[in-house]
Amino acid sequence: MQYPSIDPVILQIGPAAIRWYGLMYLIGFAGAWLLGRVLARRAGSPIDESQLDDLIFYGALGVILGGRLGYMLFYDFDRWLADPSVLVRVWEGGMSFHGGLIGVLVAMWLFARRQGLRFFQVTDFVAPLVPVGLFFGRLGNFINGELWGRPTDLPWGMRVPCTHHLDLCLNKLGLPPGTVETPPLHPNQLYEAGLEGVVLLVILWLYARRPRPVGATSGAFLLGYGSFRFLIEFVRMPDSQLGYLAFGWLTMGQLLSLPMILFGLYLLLRSRKATT
How much is the pLDDT for 197?
A: 94
User: How many whole angstroms separate alpha carbon 47 and alpha carbon 211?
Assistant: 15
How much is the pLDDT for 118?
A: 94
How far does CA 5 lie from the centroid of its chain? 22
For the chain, what are the domain ranges?
9-274
User: How many whole angstroms separate alpha carbon 234 and alpha carbon 250?
Assistant: 8
How much is the pLDDT for 276?
A: 53
Rg value, the chain, Cα: 19
pTM to 2 decimal places: 0.88
How much is the pLDDT for 246?
A: 82
Three-state SS for 4-16 is CCCCCEEEEECCE
How much is the pLDDT for 274?
A: 67
Q: What is the pLDDT along the chain (276 residues), one digit of tens a residue?
A: 899 878 888 888 877 778 888 899 899 999 999 999 999 998 888 999 989 999 999 999 999 888 888 888 888 777 888 888 877 776 666 778 888 889 999 999 999 999 999 999 999 999 999 999 999 999 998 998 888 999 999 999 999 998 888 888 888 888 998 899 999 999 999 999 999 999 999 999 999 988 899 999 999 999 999 999 999 999 998 877 777 888 888 888 899 999 999 999 999 999 887 665
How much is the pLDDT for 92?
A: 63
How much is the pLDDT for 133?
A: 92
